[in-house]
Chain A
C-alpha cells in the first residue's frame, strides 16, 4: 500500500465540503491548511478562539501586527466585515451552536465519535487550549488526519486509548486514504482511494467499516 493523499490533499478534500458563507473554526497546525483550498466562488468566514471573525491570510513578512494574531499565535489580516470580541463571546460562538464547522487534527478517532487529540499521555507539559470546547457546539465536527500513525497503526479505532478530547463528537473523518462518516456508532465508508481495495483499507482501519451501496472515489488534484 503506497499511494496516499498528502496533507495538502487531505486539507483540499475537507475544503470541498465547506459551503459559501459558513462559519468555520480550523484547529491550529495542519487544519489551518484547509483555508488555502476553498473552492472558487465560495468564501467561508473563519473564527479564531482569541476573538476574531473573518480573518484572512498571513501578512507579508515585516508587515505583522502582533496584536492581530490567530489561536496559533500567527499574524493574520482582516477581511471586510471582520469583527473583534472578547473570549467569553468567542466561546459562546463555539459552545452555543453558532459555528457551522470545526475541523481538527487527531491522534485517534473511535467509531462512536470519541476524539483523542490533546494528550499522548502523562509525560511532558500537558496543554489543551480550545480543543475540548471546539468539539462541542459546532454543527459539524470533522477530523483531518493520516489514516495510520507513523508506526503504521490505525488511527480509526473501536475505542480511543489516549486521553479523550470529547465524547461522541466527531461526525466525519477525512484521511489520507478515505472519507468516513460516523453514524450510529459506526464508521461508514463514503469515499476511498480508487487504487485501494476495500480489504486493504479495512486492514489498516481499527474498527469495521460499514459499506453503503455507493462508495465514491477519493480523488484530489496534485498540490
Chain B
C-alpha cells in the first residue's frame, strides 16, 4: 500500500467549493503551510475552492497560512476558539465587514467535538459553557448534581495536517507540541491529507512511536524543510498580493 501523492497540487486537488476543511496546528505550531499555500494558489488560479468552512483553533496570523486563505477570499466561515493573534488583520477585517461567519467554540469543546466525530459519537455532555452565552439553544442535563451542555460531533470533508515522520502507508509522528489537534482531525475527516517533513518506508517508524495510525490517513506528501508560520509572520511575509 502506498498513499504518497505526487505533489502539493495533487494533494489539494480534491477539495471542492463549500467543503468543510480541518486544518491542523495551534498558532504556527503544526500548521501545514505548504498545503495551505497550494490550496490558495489553486484558488487564485481557478477561483476554486471557494466558500470553505475552516476548522482550526485560531483564524490566522499575519499574511501567510490560514490568514492568506482568508485574505484570498476563499473562506466563508471559521469554526475556532480564538480568532485573535499577534496580527489578526485578515480575519478581523472580513469579520467586521460581515464577509466571514464565525462559530466560536470553547477550545476543549472544539477538541472533543472533533474527537467524537472520529470516534463515531454523535453527541456528548460537557460542563464547559454551561450557563454562558455559548450554551444558548443547546440541550442541558444534570448528572450527579452537576449541569452539563450537550455538544455535537464536528466532521469535515478534508483534513490538511502536518506531521514529522510519515511512512508510505500513512503512519505518523509529530514534532514537539505540533500535534495538538492533528491526531483528532485525522480521524474526523472523510479524507485526510498530510504533509510530512520526512517520508519513510513502512517499518521505519517504530510501531510504539506511531501517534496517528495509518487507518486515519488517506494521502501523504513529503515537504522537506517545511516553513514555520510564526517565522514567516515575523519576517513579514505575505503569501497573497
Complex CA distance for A133 and B84, rounded to whole angstroms: 18
Min CB gap A186→B, angstroms: 19
Q: A66-B228, A86-B184 are in contact. Are A128 and B29 (CB under 8 A)?
A: no
For residue B82, CB closer than 8 A to chain A, the reply is: yes
As a 0/1 sequence over residues 58 to 94 of chain A, the CB contacts with chain B under 8 angstroms (1 = contact) are: 0000000111110001000000000011111011001
For residue B180, CB closer than 8 A to chain A, the reply is: yes
For residue A106, CB closer than 8 A to chain B, the reply is: no
Binds A, one of B9-17, B37-45, B105-113, B199-207: B105-113
The interface size of chain B toward A, counting residues with CB under 8 Å, comes to: 55
Complex CA distance for A163 and B106, rounded to whole angstroms: 14
| Dominant SS among interface residues on chain A | loop
Complex CA distance for A87 and B29, rounded to whole angstroms: 13
Complex CA distance for A15 and B129, rounded to whole angstroms: 27
| Residues of A151-189 whose CB lies within 8 A of B | 163-167
For residue A50, CB closer than 8 A to chain B, the reply is: yes
Complex CA distance for A142 and B11, rounded to whole angstroms: 47
Min CB gap B165→A, angstroms: 14
Task: Specify which of A67, A73, A87 is in contact with B176 (CB 8 Å cutoff).
Answer: A67
Contact A133 B109 (CB under 8 A): yes
Contact A136 B81 (CB under 8 A): no
Which B residues lie within 8 Å of A131 (CB)? 106
Contact B83 A125 (CB under 8 A): yes
20 A-B interface contacts by CB (under 8 A): A67-B177, A69-B27, A69-B28, A73-B27, A84-B176, A84-B179, A86-B180, A87-B181, A91-B107, A128-B82, A128-B104, A128-B134, A129-B81, A130-B108, A133-B106, A133-B108, A136-B127, A136-B130, A163-B133, A164-B133
